Amino acid sequence: MFNRHDIARDACQLVGEQAKCGYDWWWHSFTAYNSQTGEARPFFIEFFVCNPAYGADEPVFGQLPENKRNGIKPSYLMVKAGSWGKDAEQLHRFFGWKAIDLKWEVPFEITADDCYLTETETHGTIKIGADENRLHPEWMCGSGEMSWDLKIDKRIAFNVGYGASEPMREMQAFEMFWHAEGMKTAYSGEVVWNGVKYIVDPERSYGYADKNWGKDFTSPWVWISSCDLTSEITGKRLEDSVFDIGGGRPKVGHLALPRKLLSAFWYEGTPYEFNFSKVWTHTHTEFECHETDTQIVWHIEQKNRHERMITDLTCEKEDMLLVNYESPDGEKRHNRLWNGGNGRGTVELYRNDELIDRIHVEKAGCEYGEYCEDDSSGSS
């Protein structure tokens, strides 16, 4: 059963060869409410570490032209924070490895100046001026200011199983690993976004927390998750429910497994899982994602021996970001990786061809992007 917490997977995994060409990140997303107007706004916070073996006093940027010419790999902690919505923005703050205090044991802990993260709390600040942003395109971000002080309560996990098990992690068999210790997470505290204070209420935060690590990023890149769910059949809010879908084209060594997704739906205490790595379940997936002029669209159908899940979601481009990362080898392959927190749509759950529920989805975290294999050196 996938709802098994395992904080050992949340420890930093950049050992062996992945210390020289690897990334590890801890992602958090949630909804907060304007302290004056009550308006809801989605936010995200991520701690992203890269190539500790090349650590230096200052961060090393792979996108600097001289570093690209000389084949110098990036090495840093990037603290990414921001918000989705009509003025969506991503802010990046970088630290050299000599300025990072990272506790590798379980549970993990990361400290860099006033930026801090553990399993149960995080706080920090990022401030990027418009002039700084123009002068430093290698930062791959926009301008603005955000501070946060949050408690983290990871309530429901998506443990993908064997694919991220200790033997597979030690062999570093997959190019990209995934573990969602808190696919349903309650956040509490406050955020200040460009001078405006937002309150984070644990029962209305609709939060999510996961981590990814590996040598490079998948393409296509697909992710959808939400715990703001309502039954369209009964009209009841589903308070003990959450779903999570991720993947695209996983690689085991040099072998690519095209169009593979992992997903789990915790439906009012009952687990439904569609996991290709559990071959005995005979999981089959078909998906189609695309851009229109104004939206990103996801259609995903998955089935196993007895169950089926159909997910249809859209997110308005004006509420989304083209989120930026560089790979550990210094290339920036994803240049149209759409990332949002206002996805909405439906999920249908079936067992033995009988409809269990049709579920209305709001406040979904969502991503979609692909890159051309022959053009992997796009600009930032």
Helices (H), 142-238: 166-171
User: Is 244 part of any domain?
Assistant: yes
CA atoms in the 13 A half-sphere facing the CB of 312: 5
Residue 54 main-chain phi, psi, to 5 deg: -105, 20
Based on the structure, what is the number of domains in the chain? 1
DSSP 3-state assignment of 313? Answer: strand
Q: Do the domain assignments include residue 377?
A: no
Give the pLDDT confidence score for residue 190 in this predicted structure: 98
pLDDT band at 173 (very low <50, low <70, confident <90, very high): low
Q: Is the pTM of this model over 0.85?
A: yes
- Predicted local confidence at residue 104, as pLDDT: 94
* Size of the chain in residues: 380
Mean pLDDT for all residues in the chain: 93
pLDDT per position as a tens digit, 334-372: 999 999 999 999 999 999 999 999 999 999 999 999 987
The confidence score (pLDDT) of residue 380 equals: 32
Domain that holds residue 344: 7-369
Q: Examine residue 324 and state whether it is found in any structural domain, yes or no.
A: yes
CB atoms within 10 A of CB 360: 17
Residue 265 to residue 355: CA distance in whole angstroms: 15
pLDDT at 162: 62
Task: Check whether 133 has a pLDDT greater than 70.
Answer: yes
Q: Which of 167-181, 184-198, 284-298, 311-325 has the lowest mean pLDDT?
A: 167-181
| pLDDT reading at 376 higher than 50 | no
List of residues 6+ apart from 24 with CB closer than 8 A:
12, 13, 14, 48, 49, 211, 212, 213
In this prediction, residue 325 carries a pLDDT of: 97
Assign 249 a pLDDT band (cuts: 50, 70, 90): confident
pLDDT bucket at 248, cuts 50 / 70 / 90:
confident
Does the structure show a pLDDT above 50 at 251? yes
DSSP 162-173: GGGSHHHHHHT-
Assigned token pair, 104: 């590798």
Q: Do the domain assignments include residue 157?
A: yes
pLDDT of 175 = 82
Which of 342, 337, 297, 344 has the alpha carbon at shortest distance from 321?
337
- For residue 262, give Cα distances in angstroms to 223, 254, 286, 291: 10, 20, 12, 22
Q: For residue 374, tell me if it sits in a domain.
A: no
Helix (H) or strand (E) holding 135: helix 130-135
pLDDT recorded at residue 174: 59
Average pLDDT over residues 238-255: 86
Tens-place pLDDT, residues 177-200: 999 999 999 999 999 999 999 999
Cα-flanking dihedrals φ and ψ of residue 343, to 5°?
-65, 150
Position 166 pLDDT exceeds 70? no
**Whether 296 contacts 315, CB under 8 Å:** yes
310 located within any domain = yes
Q: Let me know if 22 is exposed, middle or buried by CB neighbors in 10 A (0-12, 13-18, 19+).
A: buried
Taking Cα atoms as reference points, which of 67, 26, 22 lies closest to residue 377?
67
245 in any annotated domain: yes
Q: Which residue, chain included where needed, has tokens 């609709």?
A: 206
Q: Is the pLDDT of residue 277 over 90?
A: no
In a domain, 129, yes or no: yes
Residue 272 in this model has a pLDDT that exceeds 70 = yes
